[in-house]
Amino acid sequence: MTAGGVSIAVIMTIGLLAVIATRGLAHFWPADVIEATYQIPGEAPRVMAGELVQAEEVPRARLAAAGLPVEVKGGEFMTRELFKVGNRDVYGADFSWVVDEWMSDKKTPEKMVVMERREWGNFYGYLVNVKESGNLVAEGDAAWDELQKRITRIDELHAEITKLEKKDIGRINYGLEGLRLKKRSLELKDELSPAAQADLDAERAQWDAEYKVLETQLVALNKEFNRDTVTVKTVDGREQEISLGKVVRAYQPNAMGIGQKLSFYGAKVWEFVSDDPREANTEGGIFPAIFGTIMMTLIMAVIVTPFGVLAAIYLREYAKQGPLTRTIRIAVNNLAGVPAIVYGVFGLGFFVYVLGGSLDRIFFPEAAPAPTFGTPGLLWASLTLAILAVPVVIVATEEGLARIPRALREGSLALGATKAETLWKVVLPMASPAMMTGLILAVARAAGEVAPLMLVGVVKLAPSLPVDGNYPYLHLDQKIMHLGFHIYDVGFQSPNVEAARPLVYATALLLVLVIALLNLSAVFIRNHLREKYKALDH
């Protein structure tokens, strides 16, 4: 009987991971596109095409209750299938539920083209021709190769435009903002002399000139970018023209072999981890979220390690072991169990409003009323997480210190070393794996925590990364994106949840993998350590 408990727990864990893994991984696979004739009884038949996403058996009665003209007779169940039909600009929705029984004439035509677009989601249909500035370039079978060639060109152009917009123009904007702040700061100090004003104006003129040059470049590039168009036809015969600038990639899944599919799969996975999100986070990659998570955890680790270790050493080596120390130890232990949201509230109230507010008043009066540090941001998110994770590090380090046999310490002291020397040369090196374990656990906890971050600096879409080419390179006041929050936001607040769902599964899988890896390595280090000290005890 009791064995059942274990089995259920194990099954639940593995089942959960399996569901997330299959759903997350399947997303990138180029599934076959099915074309079929669909006829709801009593309505005209129509041709539709799409990828099969999900199929389920539904009792007849429930479909009837949903208002479908289901015949009463027949089997107990009907198969209901969810198709991704794409073409949101034409049909209004990406997805469509159909009843399997009413579909006929299923086939997977090789010429079927899927186009990923920068807006309006995927397109499913057939390629008609490719045009350059309105003039026909290729038609029929030749159009496909021409299209691929031109998409490569578009990709290069897109990269160039992004670089121009983000890097160069971003630098200019940053410079201009710096000038504005400088001027305001001089005004506040009453030191804005005509000479200083002239200096500022000259500098501004320089930036403006630079901007003019870039702007003309950008306009030219954009014109090039939108030069080509492609004419396509949906399966029910509607033709439309799509600017190639809107197309990310085009492929013919039904014509792909397994090898091609695998390489396509690899490309999609790479895009997922290395690209910016598109279409309100429902498409594209999650690179900014990964970067934000890593940045935040890194800063947290840098803060938390010295302080956590310091507190642990104090508690274990220096504090007098009495009831007070015991109480403190219990309290620290318990803080690890305090709900994370409480830390979030503290972070918002104390760090952001009190600390950040005062920093702004003292150091950035010129930016007022726009807050610099008095608003949620990277630094506060890291600090909040540090407070949250410090008990974990303290507990783990203390445990490590306690495991070091007394004999070693006494030996060192007997040889004439001072306490500090003993600590530095004997105790700490031996306890370092324990500290590592604590740090890894802390990082794992911090990486997976979302609730407090929602309050102190994580947003759904950060305009830029916290690290860039503008001085001081690391922008601690910026808001960041975060994997966990990304899951919450895309899964629950997205306008197109159905389309975003596979992406959420994939993101979840990534997060689980990272955290599982961190935890397993902590477990491994811990077990390894135990063995080592067991040997020392004898």
Partner 1 sequence: MNDLANETMTAPSNSSQRLDFNTPALLRKRRSRALKDRMARWYVSIGGLAVLAAITLIFFYLAYVVMPIFSGASIEAKTEQQPGWLAGEGKPLMLAVEEQNKVAMRLNTEGHVQFFAMKDGSALTNFDLPLPAGATITSHSEDQPGSRRTIIGLSNGQALVFKQNYAVSYPNNVKTITPVLQYPFGEEPIALDPQGRPLEHVAMNLNGDNLIISASTGNELHVLSMTNEENEFTGEVSQSQERLSLPQMAEPISSMLIDPRQQWLYVFNGKSAASVFDLRSKTLNGRYNLLSGNAEVTAVSPLLGGISLLIGNSLGGIDQWFMVRDNDGKSALTHIRGFQMSDSPITQFMPEERRKGFMALDAKGNMGIFHSTAHRTLLVEKVADGDAVAALSPRASRVLVESNGTLQTYKIDNPHPEVSWSSLWGKVWYENYDEPKYIWQSTSANSDFEPKLSLAPLTFGTLKAAFYAMLLAAPLAICAAIYTAYFMAPALRGKVKPVIELMEALPTVILGFFAGLFLAPYVEGHLPGIFSLLLLTPIGILLAAYGWSRLPERIRLIVPDGWEAALLIPVILLVAGGSLSMSGHMENWFFGGDMRLWLSNDLGIAFDQRNALVVGLAMGFAVIPNIYSIAEDAVFSVPKSLTFGSLALGATPWQTLTRVVILTASPGIFSALMIGLGRAVGETMIVLMATGNTPIMDMNIFEGLRTLAANVAVEMPESEVGSSHYRILFLSALVLLSFTFVMNTLAEIIRTRLRKKYASL
Which helix or strand (DSSP H or E) is residue 127 part of? strand 123-132
CB of 64 to partner 1, least distance (A): 8
CB of 244 to partner 1, least distance (A): 35
Which residue number, 138 or 454, has a Cβ lying nearer to partner 1? 454
CB of 54 to partner 1, least distance (A): 10
Which residue number, 248 or 311, has a Cβ lying nearer to partner 1? 311
Which residue number, 455 or 462, has a Cβ lying nearer to partner 1? 455
Sign (positive/negative) of CA torsion 101, 104, 107, 112?
Answer: negative
CB of 484 to partner 1, least distance (A): 4
CB of 305 to partner 1, least distance (A): 12
CB of 6 to partner 1, least distance (A): 4
For 41, left (φ over 0), alpha (ψ -120 to 50), or beta? beta
CB of 286 within 8 A of CB of 498? no
Which residue number, 8 or 273, has a Cβ lying nearer to partner 1? 8
Residue identified by tokens 């003993």 is: 422
**Number of Cα atoms under 13 Å in the Cβ half of residue 129:** 9
Residue identified by tokens 């079978």 is: 141
CB atoms within 10 A of CB 538: 4
**What is the strand order of the sheet 46-59 is part of?**
95-99, 77-84, 46-59, 33-38, 103-107
Which residue number, 151 or 390, has a Cβ lying nearer to partner 1? 390
Distance CA 268, CA 248 (A): 12
CB of 186 to partner 1, least distance (A): 22
Which residue number, 115 or 423, has a Cβ lying nearer to partner 1? 423
Distance CA 505, CA 321 (A): 49
Which residue number, 107 or 419, has a Cβ lying nearer to partner 1? 419
- Which ranges of 189-286 would DSSP assign to H, the alpha helix? 194-225, 258-274
